[in-house]
A and B are shown apart, each in its own frame.
Chain A
Amino acid sequence: MLARQLSAGALRKGPALSFRQKNAFAFPRALAVRNASTASSSAFESFLNSRITLASVTLFTAGSVAWYTHLYGSLPFLSEVHASHASDEGLHPPDYPWPQKGLFDTFDHASIRRGYQVYREVCAACHSLDRIAWRNLVGVSHTADEARAMAEEVEYQDGPNDEGEMFMRPGKLADYMPGPYPNEEAARAGNAGALPPDLSLMTQARHGGANYVFALITGYVDPPAGVEVREGMNYNPFFPGGAIGMARVLFDGLVEYEDGTPATTSQMAKDVVTFLHWAAEPELDERKKNGIKAVILFSTLTLLSLYVKRFKWTPIKNRKILYDPPVDKKH
């Protein structure tokens, strides 16, 4: 109701207003109508057209450019020539269609199981995984018996015993995954000075996450012409700088999957990255379920509050205030 009256009024007022604007440019003072309904718009017009506004906007623009130049050392919107090349930052990885990618999607747990096998047989030769315990695998990729059997194959130091001596015992479910090296120095010494990073949080620790790790371990190529890679380094366009200490390790048929999946390079890479993604984000399922719940609850509450607002405001918005003039007694 109110909206209709407003729009009708605006339509009626439209031509008159434009006429007044035309004249306002020519004789701003003379034709300024002292009328309550138009005073604000003509004041706004004169504010927009004033020299002070022009000067202050110019000053603001010049100041912004100067500030930007001072802060970043270069003028905005002007490209520059750099000695470095964008490829030195590493290629951006493609966006892969992971099974866990969607809003409601969880990990493919068969893939996690295969990925653990790849990690154990290939990656674990150099990379530790020291935030994952054997018990974490239970109910995710292995049964409790399987995990216990795997843990018992590893000897852990424990103690001290009654005589104050440390002793070795087979692993338990509560033990964490053993690393390939006793300390960082040993890891560097075994890898020509390069430290193989711990993989527990790797998909969270690199830009691009799982996409980056997959692109990296499948992205080894010969260096392009003009790029020299030092002895003992390998060229990988996805690695910042291009030269990476790790060589390509995944080749077709490197492992033999127990479920008969063909062990191609990309299949193994996908499985091990899925495993590492789970290792870095084991809470993914709970997080996504909580997200579903939050969206449902909050959208319901939003709709409810919008309805209540309209319900309460309807009589106020639709009321009509009538002016009943006093009866003119006498002149």
Chain B
Amino acid sequence: MAFANTLYNTFFRRNSIFVPTIFAGAFAFGIGFDTGVTAFFDHWNKGKQWKDIRHKYVEAAEEE
């Protein structure tokens, strides 16, 4: 109950805080979700993507 009260008093009491909280939360969730999905995708496709094989060709170019 104390937690609920704190939550209410902190975020829900004033609309001027409630709305920015939602916007900031959506922004943070968007970035975090995208990072998570991309991390999973990179892990799943390990060794297949360009960033995994790029080093072979960049070093070869520098040696020339």
Binding site for B on A (CB under 8 A): 99, 104-110, 113, 139-143, 145-146, 259, 285, 288-289, 292-293, 296
Contacts and interface: CB of A to CB of B under 8 A. Distances in A.
Interface string B8-43: 000000000000000000000000011001101100
B53 A285 contact: no
Label chain B's interface by main secondary structure: helix
Contact of A110 (B37, B45, B53): B53
Nearest to A285: B41
Contacts, number: 47
B61 A106 contact: no
B49 interface: yes
Given A143-B57, A143-B61, A146-B61, A109 B50 contact: yes
Contacts of B1: none
Interface residues of B, number: 18
Nearest to B33: A293
Contacts of A289: 37-38, 41
Given A288-B41, A293-B37, A106 B48 contact: yes
Given A106-B49, A108-B48, A109-B49, A143 B54 contact: yes
A296 B57 CA distance: 36
A293 B40 CA distance: 11
A110 B54 CA distance: 9
B53 A109 contact: yes
B37 A106 contact: no
Nearest to A141: B50
A93 B40 CA distance: 32
A293 to B, nearest CB: 5
Contact of A146 (B37, B40, B52, B57): B57
Nearest to B43: A104
Contacts of A296: 33, 37
B49 A292 contact: no
B58 interface: yes
B53 A106 contact: no
